[in-house]
A = this chain, B = another copy of it.
Amino acid sequence: MPIVTIQITREGTRPGADAITADEKAQLIEGASRLMLDVLGKPLESTFVVIEEVELENWGWGGLPVAAYRKQRAAKT
């Protein structure tokens, strides 16, 4: 009966993409469900996975919207 909730920013994993693909989502679902099976012995049918995509400007890190935070970090290195 586990529920695995995956919250990520809405953006692509490669240039030009502005969101993760259906295939990447399927991999997340499969991997998370399998983890519950491998570690806890939960059958695949007992696990729900929910992926929540959050707009970049709705995600904060370091006291800043994440895009600004990344720029700040990049400037430091």
Interface residue ranges, A against B (CB under 8 Å):
1-9, 13, 20, 22, 24-36, 38-42, 44-45, 47-54, 57-66, 68
Contact = CB atoms under 8 A, between A and B. Distances in A.
Q: Report copies per complex.
A: 6
Majority secondary structure of chain A interface residues (helix, strand, loop or mixed): mixed
Given A53-B58, A54-B50, A63 B30 contact: yes
B50 A39 contact: no
B59 A26 contact: no
Contacts of A62: 33, 44-45, 47
Contact of A50 (B7, B29, B30): B7
Contacts of A57: 22, 25-26
